Chain A
Amino acid sequence: MKIFFYKSILVFILFILAIHFSFGVITKQIKREYSSIVSKEKIEQIKNKLREEIKTGTEKEVLINPKDAKLLNNFLIKLRSELEKTKNK
């Protein structure tokens, strides 16, 4: 009875610690990573970065190179014509 009691306690403690130092630690790590990515400050930082990039973009004389501009223009015309067609149907 006595030996059984001590062995049970030992097994119980080791089991809890094994769970903690394997599953528990990994969960904590994932939570930490996740919360640092989706934190309010991080989102705010990304927004600010976007604002800065747009601002520097608009300050440039040429925003996109002529080849890309032509490509985009063609794409928008095509898109528009297809949308018009769908509307008429």
Chain B
Amino acid sequence: MINKIKNFQYIFLSLTYLIIVLVVLSTFKDFGVHIEEKFHRMNGLYWLNYIAQIFNFEKISLISEIKLKEISDYTLSSVEHYNKYGVIFDVPLALIEIVFNIEKIENVYHIKHFFSFIIFLISSFFFYKILIKRFKNFFLCLAGTVLFITSPRIFGDSFLYKDVLFLSFFNIALFFLLKSSDSLNLKNIFFFSVFSAIAFNLRIFGIFLPVTFFLILIIKSLNNKNIYSYFKFYSFYLFSLICLIIFFSPYLWSNTLANFLDIFLALKRDLIDADIKILFNNEFIINRNAPDSYLFTWIFISTPITTLILFSLGYFFYSKRFIKRFINIKKEQIYNDLWRGQNEQKDFIIFFILTSFYLSLLVFNSPFYNGWRLVYFLNIFIIYFTVYQINNLIILYRKDYLKRKIILLFALASIIHNVICLVIYHPYQSYYFTELISNNKKNTFEGDYYGISGKHFFLKLSSDNKDQKIKIAVASHTPLHRSLESIDFDLRKNFEVVGQEYKNADFIYKNNISEVNSNLNKKYNIPNNFVKIYELNVNGIKIYEIFKNIK
């Protein structure tokens, strides 16, 4: 009987994933090319060339060098300058480009988008495993996993192999952290170190994983005299983590220590754009001086309301429990100080990472831009506490069949809401805003910061002005010319992007992305001889506008 239930669950789960893959296979080509893709392609080819030279793969070295020389962009910094970016995704994809001889540049990006999503999907399975080990309720955990995948902003970004790629690997590392905390053994710790190293390779925030693991072992050792064994395991973890960080970063293969320190120094020096203006709540603020409410506001306005309510309640009730445990710590006690069983230990780890990370961002005054995309991995914790709260309600009403069903229906309604949003916003899900705020308010925040509307813009102009040579000016900070790579070569050659030289342009592309205060600086003002002929509006959000020169 148990086997039958398990088989049914696996079939149901597989079917869910199959449906998602089929839907994505038919739609993933709709996504435009984002403004950093060109750099990531260059990054992959550069480091592939470096590796190929070290290991004497002459052909790969030669091809990657030729391809690198073909990439030119006056707005793009060289990889030699920005050489600390993670290569864990870029290098394998550059290798695929060369091995399978993919000539069409738009196909290179499509493949990258697809692989990026597949990694996200695999990580969502690990998320399901985290949930099922904690809550042991198949339908609840499946609902949580689907909520995780269909969170509109996360889903939209999952094709763009930037922040959601980090989320994916962080999520897998978190799974092994929880597993290692339950049962300390070399196998779990090794896998934990592999994924921690990959997460660190992609974003420096990965550093929270070893710190959390260290704290868990310390707390455990306070009630358990097994300090030597914990020390042994942690040393092994740290050693393999360091080796793997070096292994995954060709940048660290020479001058290891100096280059490693430089990763942290570079953060301050150049990786975070110094003092750029960002549109936040109708005000242009300097990104290094964003108010403390910046992150909170962004999460609030771009997360579905049901998820937000359940998360808030779940976080509140867990905090209450944590404070109670903290107050009641005694000198001698049978259980661990801050948790009772393995389930509560998992809750504590999730709570600790979320809270300590949020507070660190505030205390270190981290600069932000483009909403909360840099910390999209927090969605793991948001959905975890959402599921936690649904589980609390199910336990509370375990004797009341009707109320239990209402709670599950509520979860189902949240999923349906997410799916509807994915359909409405397609392919701009990464710019989703909650229905709680007015359309006017939505446009007082940064919109198409990735410039993925560029593809739609060029295709629209192509279909409206067949085979004509068109000059485009850009009334935005978006490097629009990079989006040309998202369309076919025959169409591409009809366009010339002239920057802010409005007088030479036939059309102007405008979105609300500006690095200067556009209320005071007239740099992106549309000249009087241009009239608006088109606006792409998705659920009240002005994605972009086209202005035509009437001379």
Contact = CB atoms under 8 A, between A and B. Distances in A.
A31 B289 contact: yes
B480 interface: no
A35 B521 CA distance: 15
Most chain A Cβ neighbours within 10 Å, of B218, B289, B516, B521: B289
Contacts, number: 47
A40 B359 CA distance: 32
A17 B363 contact: yes
A3 B337 CA distance: 10
A16 B289 contact: no
Nearest to A42: B520
A2 B337 contact: yes
Contacts of B517: 39, 41
A35 B286 contact: yes
A32 interface: yes
Contacts of B285: 32
B15 interface: no
B289 A6 contact: no
A44 interface: yes
Question: Which residue, A2, A5, A20, has most C-beta atoms of chain B within 10 A?
Answer: A2
A57 interface: no
Interface string B500-530: 0000000000000000110011000000000
A20 B520 contact: no
A20 B289 contact: no
Contacts of A10: 326
A13 B355 CA distance: 12
A35 B284 CA distance: 11
B366 interface: no
B144 to A, nearest CB: 30
Interface residues of B, number: 21
A41 B275 CA distance: 13
B362 interface: yes
B331 A35 contact: no
Interface residues of A, number: 22
A28 B362 CA distance: 11
B235 interface: no
B520 A45 contact: yes
A52 to B, nearest CB: 14
A5 B218 CA distance: 10
A39 B275 CA distance: 11
Contacts of B363: 16-17, 20, 24
Nearest to B329: A6
B18 interface: no
B254 to A, nearest CB: 37
B488 interface: no
Contacts of A44: 520-521
A64 interface: no
A76 interface: no
Interface in A64-87: none
B182 interface: no
A20 B286 contact: no
A32 B520 contact: no
B365 interface: yes
Interface of A: 1-3, 5-6, 10, 13, 16-17, 20, 24-25, 28, 31-32, 35, 39-42, 44-45
Given A32-B285, A41-B520, 11 more contacts: A2-B222, A2-B331, A2-B337, A10-B326, A20-B363, A24-B365, A28-B365, A35-B275, A35-B289, A44-B520, A45-B520
21 contacts: A1-B222, A2-B222, A2-B223, A2-B329, A2-B337, A5-B218, A6-B329, A6-B337, A16-B363, A20-B362, A28-B291, A28-B292, A32-B289, A35-B275, A35-B286, A39-B517, A40-B521, A41-B516, A41-B517, A41-B520, A44-B520
